[in-house]
Amino acid sequence: MRRKRIEIIAIAVLIVGIIGYAGAGLVVSGLRVAGAERTLNTVVSHQNTLNSTFSDINTQLSALSSSSAFNPQQAIVLVDKSVSNSELATKTINADDASLVAASSQLGSLQWLTMVGHGSLDRETSRLGHARTALEAARTIASDEAADGHFWHSLYVSLAELTTLNSQVGAGDLAAAHTTLAAMKSEIAAAALSTSPGLPPELHALMTDLSAFAADFGKQLDAQIAGDDASVAVYEATVQADQGKISAYDIDKIGSEIAAFYKPLIDQFNSEITAATS
């Protein structure tokens, strides 16, 4: 009789233990899912800000659009803001990704205790995975756009200096024009060094032509300073030919190519965010 009582007690303890294990597992799983959900919600809340940053590429291009008048100073301000936004986006992306990694690690720890609630944990882990994939696409976009922005900054500064250069030559201040031309050449060279994958080949060709224009303009300027009218006439013709080549570039087409480069990455970012929230 006593033995049977002991067996019954042992079975009761086992049942209580199983129930306790299951209950503890569900509680722990629920707490971890809730924590991961908070992290995921924070990441998703940054979606609109990141998409706004990605659209800055249109700002960088608008200054050179054939449908608008070029304002170099305004273009420089817009591009510098775009670069700052891209760099800030990268910091946000890295912080969010670190949070997702920590949340995912937390979901996967102490698996012996959370076997009962593993279904909800698996679903949450999958959602975190989609969010991390989204951030990987976002990181690529932000990095490339920052590099693009540095290119546009150098290009726009060089064009602003060209405006100044023309004014100085028109005013007969050739010494000042010589100094401005040197600065312009430096900016053109800096832009030409850009290796951003988001820039189409036409832009690299444009920088080559701008460099040739600056070199020929320098020769014309030196001839003017030396009072060599015959050489000035020759170089003027060369400079005009350079200008013709530069004006032949289809800026709107270049803008479309850049937008087409980024579209798949932006679409991937948004689709993965959608998967993470479904």
Average pLDDT in the 69-87 region?
Answer: 82
Q: Does residue 61 have a pLDDT over 90?
A: no
> Which residues are CB-contacts of 124 (< 8 A; sequence separation ≥ 6)?
32, 33, 36, 37, 40, 107
61/253 Cα distance (integer angstroms): 11
- Lowest-pLDDT range of 5-14, 87-96, 132-141, 229-238: 5-14
Q: Does residue 236 have a pLDDT over 60?
A: yes
Q: Read off the pLDDT of residues 191-201 as tens digits, 9 standing for 90 and up.
A: 988 888 888 89
Task: Provide the 8-state DSSP code for 67.
Answer: T
pTM comes to: 0.76
* Nearest by Cα to 96 from 53, 57, 50: 50
Average pLDDT in the 145-170 region?
Answer: 89
Average pLDDT in the 7-12 region?
Answer: 42
Determine the pLDDT at residue 181. 93
Distances, alpha carbon 10 to alpha carbons 5, 25, 207, in Å? 9, 22, 84
Q: Residue 123 corresponds to which tokens in the numbers above?
A: 């679903």
Domain boundaries, the chain: 2-277
Determine the pLDDT at residue 238. 92
| Radius of gyration of the chain measured on its C-alpha atoms | 31
Q: Does residue 63 have a pLDDT over 60?
A: no
Q: Does residue 190 have a pLDDT over 90?
A: yes
165/10 Cα distance (integer angstroms): 95
Q: Does residue 66 have a pLDDT over 80?
A: no
Q: Does residue 25 have a pLDDT over 50?
A: no
Confidence band of 28 (pLDDT split at 50, 70, 90):
very low
